[in-house]
């Protein structure tokens, strides 16, 4: 999967959800009612997109890991069925691509 494909994901490009910068201001109220100024964090649109890409990559890795484990189990159980037609197509494609 290419990063550019991930950026096309509607979750990343939904302008209704991501507009400008997001400010988080932590102000604490003291027991006497006075406010204590805390830290201020600003997350840019690009920063949030990087975070979303990271989350998507983690999800994809988890799916791939699950798929590999399923294939290992089926091979060990002897229930994995290999399509000779698919293998032949892959060999022909590989040969064409590597003999050019």
pLDDT at position 70 is: 96
* Measured distance CA(95)–CA(91) in Å, rounded: 6
| C-alpha 80, offset from chain centre | 29
Q: How many residues does the chain have?
A: 100
Q: What is the mean pLDDT of residues 76-90?
A: 94
Two structure tokens written together for 67 = 């798929």
Average pLDDT over every residue of 56-80: 94
- Residue 20 belongs to domain spanning: 3-98
Residue reference for tokens 């032949």: 88
State pLDDT tens for residues 22-61: 555 555 666 666 666 677 777 788 888 899 999 999 999 9
This prediction's pTM? 0.41
- Tell me the percentage of the chain whose pLDDT exceeds 70: 62
Percent of the chain with pLDDT over 90: 46
pLDDT, residue 2, reads 57
Per-residue pLDDT, averaged over 71-81, amounts to 94
CA neighbours closer than 13 Å in the CB half-sphere of residue 87: 4
Rounded CA-CA distance 20/44 in Å is 7
State the pLDDT at residue 95.
95
Structure tokens belonging to residue 55: 């989350």
Overall number of domains in the chain = 1
Does 10 score more than 60 pLDDT? no
Q: What is the pLDDT of residue 68?
A: 96
3-state SS assignment for residue 8? coil
């Amino acid at each position: 999967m290419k990063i550019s494909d991930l950026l096309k994901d509607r979750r990343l490009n939904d302008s209704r959800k991501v507009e400008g910068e997001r400010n988080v201001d932590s102000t604490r109220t003291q027991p006497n009612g006075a406010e204590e100024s805390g830290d201020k964090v600003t997350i840019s649109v690009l920063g949030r997109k990087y975070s979303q890409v990271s989350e998507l990559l983690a999800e994809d890795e988890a799916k791939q890991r699950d798929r590999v484990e399923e294939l290992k189990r089926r091979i060990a159980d002897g229930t994995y069925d290999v399509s000779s037609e698919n293998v032949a197509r892959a060999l022909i494609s590989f040969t064409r691509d590597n003999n050019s």
